[in-house]
Amino acid sequence: MSEEKSAFEKVQKARNSDKISIQKLVSGLTNEFIELHGDRAYGDDSAVYSGIGMIDNQPVTIIGIQKGTNNEENVERHFGSAEPDGYRKALRLMEQAEKFKRPIITLINTPGAYPGVDAEYHGQGYMISQLILKGMQLKTPYISVIIGEGGSGGALALAVGDCVWSFENSIYSVLSPEGYATILWKNSSKVKEAADVMRLTPEELLEDGIIDKIIPEVKNDTDIENFKNMILNKISELSNMSVDDLLKKRFARYRSFK
Amino acid sequence: MKTNKFNTPTTKELELRNQKIPDGLWIKCKSCGENIYYKDLGKFKECPNCSYGMRLGAKERIEMICDDFEQINSDITVPSRFDDDKYQNKIKKAKDVTGLNESVITGFGKINGHKVGLAVMDSRFIMASLGIATGELLAKLFEGATEKQLPVIVFTASGGARMQEGINSLMQMAKVSEAINEHSKAGLLYISLITDPTFGGVTASFAMQGDIIISEPKASIGFAGRRVIENTIQQRPPEDFQQAETLLKNGFLDAIIKRSNLKSELSKILAIHEGGA
């Protein structure tokens, strides 16, 4: 792994536009992937990229929250901030994965759930609460990976799996360092200081038991191959457990945060 | 020479008289803006004009709702590793004002004879934000209620996750949800009672996870704060935005119940879930 970086450098790297896109990651991981759309209630949020596919011989459901690769996409996807219909689509596909006993992989790169008027009208808080509640009960292996930004409740909604991994250049936090500096210090320019005290880097999160593993940054095909093998190994480990044990262990993971 | 047959007080006398009038006789309703004589609020502290329920301390709320109540785990408080001076001062202030060790009171009590597990958040304690100890108290309440086979009622009021405790506070959303899962799997009832104001991580977890979700008139409920949204969309959302009445209309609440009717309505719901026994 690379040399020590300041927390703020991690924040910048996590947000950098050269970060691998969720689509690219998915196409590298899978030999087959079919995108599935829609929440069957209201709409189809393109901030949530999701579907079914095969990783080698292993069927999986993959759900990602993604930023755009250009301006147009970013506007469409609210810079990777999902709306309630995106979360509802995620929940629908998770429950479908459970039905077919398919492992679930979530790939997270979001600054947070979208703060908009329509999002509030359509139950942003409710949908996140349901993803947390129901996600934790899914009777199938569930692996969460923070790819870039893991922003607040909007990220947690897809990060209540059996294990939570972080890419080397990623952050996971209760709110953005900008928000932290503004709210707690009334000074939005103290972003660096905020990043320093928030313990949002993968190394700190691992030390605090919030995440279970740091994944070397995925940039090329070799990295993807390594990442793929980690996922396959974890799936096979989790699949060997009885459903009761799987859920017990998952519940214990989240009960332990003191 | 006096021209007035009445004794008109001088300006100075008027000032002196004004000083003798105690403060707090007139209370401005946060919701409709009406000035209300304090006695007109009645014992439930409801606005006679718009039915908005004034914010209450947790102990005051419990007295309104319960016949009897026994607090549990009252000693649980903020973990000592959070030793930042500014945060410590905030905690000390909150403890002094509320007489509590954390932002929520949990325990077991009776509502018109019906046994329940009860949690009441106190917005005077750092905006009743969801800290590690808050999460622990709530998780323990649900676990205790699962063991005792009792329903749970949680009165929420919160600004959301507690920033000072960082990502640990975010994890409390999952921790409390886990305990609610176990309680729910045992076939037990959870009533979420959302009071003014409930936002952020609390809305996005246990406030919205009740089998039945009730609110009080004109309560503010939302995920993102109004100012954050205004900054994002660069315009002002409508007045009734994030108001209980709007959430009811949009399908996110089962009912809005006036505070003065709350105890009797809650006992009806509890009775139905006791199979009429």
ipTM of the complex: 0.95
Put simply, whether the predicted model's pTM sits higher than 0.90 gets the answer: yes
Min Cα separation B157/chain A (Å): 14
Q: How confident is the model at residue A152 (pLDDT cuts 50, 70, 90)?
A: very high
Q: How far apart are CA A188 and CA A126, in angstroms?
A: 30
* CB contact at 8 A, A77 and A65: no
The answer to the question of residue B218 being in a domain is: yes
Q: What is the mean pLDDT of chain B?
A: 93
From residue A180, alpha-carbon distances to A176, A203, B202 in Å are 6, 20, 18
B28 and B81 inside one domain: no
* CB contact at 8 A, B210 and B190: yes
Taking only the tens place, the pLDDT of each residue in A173-219 is: 999 998 899 888 888 889 999 999 999 999 999 999 999 999 999 99
B17 and B139 inside one domain: no
B120 and B135 inside one domain: yes
Q: How confident is the model at residue A92 (pLDDT cuts 50, 70, 90)?
A: very high
Q: What is the mean pLDDT of chain A?
A: 94
The answer to the question of residue B5 being in a domain is: no
Please judge whether A136 and B252 are an interchain contact, meaning their C-beta atoms are less than 8 angstroms apart: no
| Tokens at B36, concatenated | 């209300």
* SS3 at position A173: strand
Over residues A120-143, the mean pLDDT reads 97
Q: How confident is the model at residue B11 (pLDDT cuts 50, 70, 90)?
A: confident
Over residues B255-259, the mean pLDDT reads 97
A108: enclosing H helix or E strand: strand A104-110
B68 and B117 inside one domain: yes
Q: Check if A75 contacts B (Cβ < 8 Å).
A: no
Q: Which of A100, A173, A255 is nearest to B182 (CA)?
A: A255
Regarding the domain delimited by A7-252, which CATH topology (the fold level of the hierarchy) does it fall under?
A: 2-enoyl-CoA Hydratase; Chain A, domain 1 (3.90.226)
pLDDT above 70 coverage of chain B, percent: 97
B59 and B45 inside one domain: no
pLDDT at residue A184 in the model: 87
The answer to the question of residue B3 being in a domain is: no
Taking contacts as CB-CB distances below 8 angstroms, the residues of chain A near B170 are 152-153, 156, 173-174
Q: What is the bridge-based pairing of β-strands B104-111 and B114-121?
A: antiparallel
Taking only the tens place, the pLDDT of each residue in B74-124 is: 999 999 999 999 999 999 999 999 999 999 999 999 999 999 999 999 999
Taking contacts as CB-CB distances below 8 angstroms, the residues of chain B near A208 are 167-168
Q: How far apart are CA A97 and CA A93, in angstroms?
A: 6
* CB contact at 8 A, A146 and A173: no
Please judge whether B182 and A208 are an interchain contact, meaning their C-beta atoms are less than 8 angstroms apart: no
pLDDT at residue B2 in the model: 53
Parent domain of B22: 11-54
Q: How far apart are CA A45 and CA A84, in angstroms?
A: 8
Q: How far apart are CA A39 and CA A53, in angstroms?
A: 19
Chains A and B form CB pairs within 8 A to the count of 146
Residue type, B82: F
SS (H, E, C) B14-59: HHHHHHHCCCCCEEECCCCCCEEEHHHHCCCCECCCCCCECCCCHH
Q: What is the bridge-based pairing of β-strands A58-65 and A104-110?
A: parallel
- Our count of domains for chain B comes to 2
Taking only the tens place, the pLDDT of each residue in B165-188 is: 999 999 999 999 999 999 999 999
Q: What's the CATH number where B163 sits?
A: 3.90.226.10
- Domain residue ranges in chain A: 7-252
Min Cα separation B73/chain A (Å): 15
Flag whether pLDDT at A2 surpasses 70.
no
B86 and B174 inside one domain: yes
In total, chain A counts a number of residues equal to 258
Taking contacts as CB-CB distances below 8 angstroms, the residues of chain B near A160 are 174, 177
Q: How far apart are CA B44 and CA A59, in angstroms?
A: 58
Over residues B56-75, the mean pLDDT reads 96
